[in-house]
Structure 1
Amino acid sequence: MTNSVSTRIQGRLLEAANDVAVEHALHSHWSIFHLWHYFGAHENAIAPVESVWDETAPFVSCLGLAYLVQRDLKCKLQSDPELVSFQDKVQIMTNVTVADSNRYQYHVIVVFEFDQSCIVVDVGYHPTAIQLTLGETFHMEVSAKFNGILVQSVMRYIKRGGRKLLQTAFSALAFPGAQQENISITDRIKPLPPKKGVNVRMLVNEEPRSIPSIECDGKYIIHSCQCSVDFGKRSVWLQIPNEDWIQRHANSAFRD
């Protein structure tokens, strides 16, 4: 824990964390498909962790996002004489639950912890850094599913039994990425991986009218493309904003 940190310094740390978060929100794209493909191609290989994300770049899992955010945030703090002492306080935190006997469900984030507050970077679920005081609830980025339903994760910073906890609601299966399931196709049973997804954000100048967005320095961060690969149904779903992107004159080359 980082004790007795002034409000001004916390503000500067939040600004630094936000710069790194937005950079990766726009240029590092969440993908389970690419991680699954990497481990499928390197089934028996052991490699330095950075080589995994270099090879799959710009597509990464929540683990990759946390690793890259921690690395870049430490580098940013190292170049600032007032903040350099905090570079070793950039923590990676995870929660792991057992989905069934063969699969683990987990999520990974980056955190600064203070006496009564914390700074969180969770690029997979929110494109900017978050600051929470103890007992506070934060409603994260709204996203649209393929069926049109809007969903939103919630993060709470709570104290329970003398321990401080970040309580979250997550649904992404991150690792291992190549679990096999028996799925019937044309009357035969074949081992297939579960459904994989890719999510890409971008920055637009005008506030969207039909899709959720997060304001950032006078512009807006949106989910510009979501892709779902379903091996069992032999289908690929692609979701791209219509009114707020593809129908705009500047993007006519993508539709004509």
Structure 2
Amino acid sequence: MFWAQDEHGVRLEWGEPGVQHLAPWADAVVIVDVLSFSTAVDVGVSGGAAVLPFRWRDTRAATFAAAQGAVLAGDRDSGGPTLSPASLLGLPPGTRLVLPSPNGGTLCALAQESSRAVVVAACLRNAGAVGEWLRGRFARVLVVPAGERWPGGTLRPALEDSLGAGAVVEALCRSPGLSPSPEAAGARATFQALRKRLPELLSGCASGLELMGRGFPEDVTLAAELNVSSCVPVLQEGAFVNGVSPSHA
């Protein structure tokens, strides 16, 4: 299959089609949705919460949260925990949080449905930790930048997710062992070229401008922080928990 990137240990493909077509041949799938799903997962799990991704943001989410004995993340303007990473900074340790996200949540569900691969959430904050954790554990890693959606529903590749994916590839391939596909190497090169401009680029890209305009500049600031987190959110029994024990964090 010409699109499978199967000669390489580190592969990269965008969005739902990337998961559907390449995840069955991966040992680990890394979901990168920088603004804001993966960043929210990192912030929540870093604080000791278990984050349950959910693909629908409707009444099904409330039903699911009740069945799981979990708190449901609300709309960004609700005042409680939401998809806004800043809203999760004070989340009490031990909280079980259902995080509806039609983008990141859907990719997590598809990854589990399409393969037996380990599913990990990565962003700029924890890219180095994720890459280090994966390196030496898995021979075939698929990195999936989520992208965004145009009004008609088609995929819109997003700069922030390309940068986040490139940061993960950089950490994965820092030492000999795993070879990146050309697609993964391209994202890595983009990250290397632009890593010193992350705050500027995230605040000025389309997704960042949307969040800034809606009154969530702190979310963009948090998302632009590089390698400040040692957390590795791993999806286990439907919930993201930290794959790194406290003694090794």
Q: Same-fold call, TM > 0.5? A: no
Q: Which has the higher helix share?
A: 2
Q: State TM-score, norm by structure 1.
A: 0.28
The structure with more radius of gyration: 1
- More RCO (CA 8 Å, sep 6+): 2
Q: Which has the higher strand share?
A: 1
